[in-house]
């Protein structure tokens, strides 16, 4: 009586020709100490297990907090905007700099990221305009976001794709400010409608 002698890696067929194959039996897969939620990625030679590298930072919970209570230096051109979050999500190992839950900057480790922010500072006239962009301490980055006088004009985000080679600090900087309500008179619109979302790009 003959038996099937075909093998895959170290797996041999049983008497009914069934094979129980382990992933390491494949000739270009090298799995070592696998843990839950890991994925296979190609390293140029073999497929190997590793952790998912994605993650995000999110700050913006719709809180009723007046922007006048932030530690922002102002609400005019070249001032940085702060964002309110009592419990920001942070699974990127980012360093979040804040005072009284008002976030002034976020420092990211090396990697590639999509940065997005929406600001909702209040304006004192219907012709007013607030424009803002991401800033890395040296340069303005990406597309301009803006908001207008009415609540339905809050929501046009500034967006940038960045690939810092080392730890880099980012802020959201005002680039145009026309009829923006003075800092001391700013209400809760920004905390209620503003947010930061940073996503690591795989």
CATH assignment of the domain containing 96: 2.60.120.40
pLDDT at residue 1 in the model: 47
Same domain, 74 and 48: no
Q: Are residues 184 and 163 in the same domain?
A: yes
pTM: 0.77
Q: Are residues 76 and 139 in the same domain?
A: yes
DSSP state of 175: E
Residues 146 and 60 in one domain: yes
Element of type H or E holding 190: helix 189-193
In a shared domain, residues 170 and 70? yes
Give me the number of domains the chain comprises: 2
Which residues are registered as beta bridge partners of 174?
132
**Residue-number span of the structural domain to which 87 is assigned:** 56-200
pLDDT at residue 44, as a whole number: 80
Decide: 188 and 174 in contact? Cβ < 8 Å: no
Together in a domain, 185 and 98: yes
Q: What are phi and psi of 190, to 5 degrees?
A: -65, -45
Q: What's the rounded mean pLDDT across residues 165-179?
A: 97
Question: According to the model, what pLDDT value does residue 198 have?
Answer: 98
Assign 188 a pLDDT band (cuts: 50, 70, 90): very high
């Amino acid at each position: 009586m003959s038996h099937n002698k075909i093998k895959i890696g170290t797996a041999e067929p049983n008497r009914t020709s069934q094979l129980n194959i382990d992933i390491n039996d494949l000739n270009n897969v090298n799995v070592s100490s696998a843990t839950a939620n890991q994925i296979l990625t190609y390293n140029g030679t073999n497929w190997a297990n590793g952790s998912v590298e994605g993650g995000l930072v999110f700050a913006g919970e719709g809180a009723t907090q007046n922007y006048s209570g932030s530690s922002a230096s102002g609400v005019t051109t070249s001032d940085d905007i702060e964002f309110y979050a009592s419990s920001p999500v942070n699974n990127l190992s980012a360093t979040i700099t804040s005072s009284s839950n008002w976030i002034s900057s976020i420092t990211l480790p090396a990697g590639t990221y999509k940065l997005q922010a929406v600001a909702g500072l209040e304006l004192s006239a219907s012709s007013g305009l607030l424009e803002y962009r991401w800033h890395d301490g040296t340069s303005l980055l990406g597309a301009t976001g803006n908001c207008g006088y009415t609540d339905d004009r809050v929501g046009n985000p500034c967006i940038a794709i960045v690939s810092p080679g080392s730890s880099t600090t980012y802020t959201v900087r005002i680039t145009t400010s026309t009829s923006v309500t003075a800092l001391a008179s700013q209400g809760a619109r920004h905390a209620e409608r503003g947010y930061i979302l940073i996503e690591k790009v795989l």
